[in-house]
Amino acid sequence: MNYWLVKQEPAAYAWDQFVRDGVTAWTGVRNFQARNNLRAMALGDWALYYHSVTGKSVVGIAEVSREAYPDSTASEGDWSCVDLKPVGPLVRPVTLEEIKAEPTLADIGLLRQSRLSVMPITKDEFERIIKLSKK
């Protein structure tokens, strides 16, 4: 299993809407590195769901329910999407400030490539954020 972090502005598609929908196609990614990360996702992989711009916190866990396929929202170019389904919310959101303050998360992609919307994370990083949510 691989672990990921996906970012979304809550004004565009908040965690609560994702939960209500039950599954979503993760479309609209127009960055080559993020697209390649989508293509690397495997069925059953888990992703942390991060609210960007406002809120700036990890709020839930999602699971890849369909591997990469062509993004129907792309009018041109070779773009992909995956389907994600919610697994559950974190006990409490883990803020960007908490992540920055945690020494074991110093190398997490969220801090190194803050504009990337889909990124791999390690199992240890995933587990540490889950543990922080329980404090």
- Domain of residue 47 covers 3-133
* Integer CA distances (angstroms), 51 to 64, 69, 134, in order: 18, 24, 18
* Count of domains observed in the chain: 1
Query: Which CATH number do you get for residue 47?
Result: 3.10.590.10
List, for residues 11-65, the tens digit of each pLDDT value: 999 999 999 999 999 999 999 999 999 999 999 999 999 999 999 999 999 999 9
pLDDT of amino acid 7: 97
Confidence of residue 98 (pLDDT cuts 50, 70, 90): very high
pLDDT of amino acid 46: 98
Q: Are 43 and 88 in contact (CB under 8 A)?
A: no
Mean pLDDT of the chain: 97
pLDDT of amino acid 74: 96
